[in-house]
Amino acid sequence: LPPYDAPRLIAEMELLPTWFLERHLGHELACGDWDTLELAFTRLAEAALAQPRVFVHRDFHSRNLLALTHGGPGIIDFQDAVCGALTYDPVSLLKDCYIVWPAAQVRRWALDYRARAVAAGLWPAARDDADFLRAFDLTGLQRHLKVLGIFCRLYYRDGKAGYLGDLPRVLAYALEAARTYPEFAALAALLERASAGHDLTLPQPCGR
């Protein structure tokens, strides 16, 4: 499997300024904004690379899971799998871009996954619940920044309707995580400032 390395992680997040902030929101990025994004992207890549490496489906969410008659899930769209952060697939499912679960339930599920990972020798027992939840949240932040860019690119470049309707949910996930950790406060402020007053579900007038 190809490595989910820093260049790949950062390249994904770089879709955010191009397609979401500039193309969709019409936000003109100042030099300070670029500094904020660069620092946030570097920190998020470092957080992902500090985790144990496992098989990562990379798009493990409700729309890629099928209910089968024998009871097990059918899993599709795995052709872009990589070797990456242990929390990537769990956060993709539990902070699904198409479904919102209650926060307390997400926390319980995440910590249950940690316990299973520790038992399987995949997550160090010395890295406690708080450490795991931080890794889980920051991996989710990396993913949701990427998805904000991808969903806008799908609309404006590829002419695929429907994805703009999911942007408010994805932005809410990103803001929740960025506000939780002080080192991402500047990123949260940038996202808040750029999106203020916008209906994210509506395209820019210049269209596709």
CATH of the domain at 90: 3.90.1200.10
Residue 205 domain-assigned (yes or no): no
Over residues 63-80, the mean pLDDT reads 74
* Residue 73 confidence (pLDDT): 79
Number of Cβ atoms within 10 Å of the Cβ of 181: 16
CA–CA dist 38, 190 (Å, integer): 12
Residue 32 domain-assigned (yes or no): yes
Give the pLDDT band of residue 208 (cuts 50, 70, 90).
very low
pTM: 0.93
Residue 174 domain-assigned (yes or no): yes
Residue 200 domain-assigned (yes or no): no
Residue 44 domain-assigned (yes or no): yes
Residue 203 domain-assigned (yes or no): no
Mean per-residue pLDDT over the chain, rounded: 94
Q: pLDDT tens across 88-110, in order?
A: 999 999 999 999 999 999 999 99
Ramachandran sector of residue 29 (left: φ over 0; alpha: ψ -120 to 50; beta: rest): beta
**Own/partner pairs, 17-21, CB within 8 angstroms, 24+ separation:** 17/149, 18/149, 18/153, 19/148, 19/149, 19/150, 19/152, 19/153, 19/156, 19/157, 20/148, 20/149, 20/151, 20/152, 20/167, 21/194
Q: Total domain count for the chain?
A: 1
What domain range is 168 assigned to? Answer: 6-195
Report CA-CA distances (Å) from 196 to 75, 117, 118: 37, 40, 42
* Residue 9 confidence (pLDDT): 98
Q: Indicate whether 31 pLDDT > 50.
A: yes
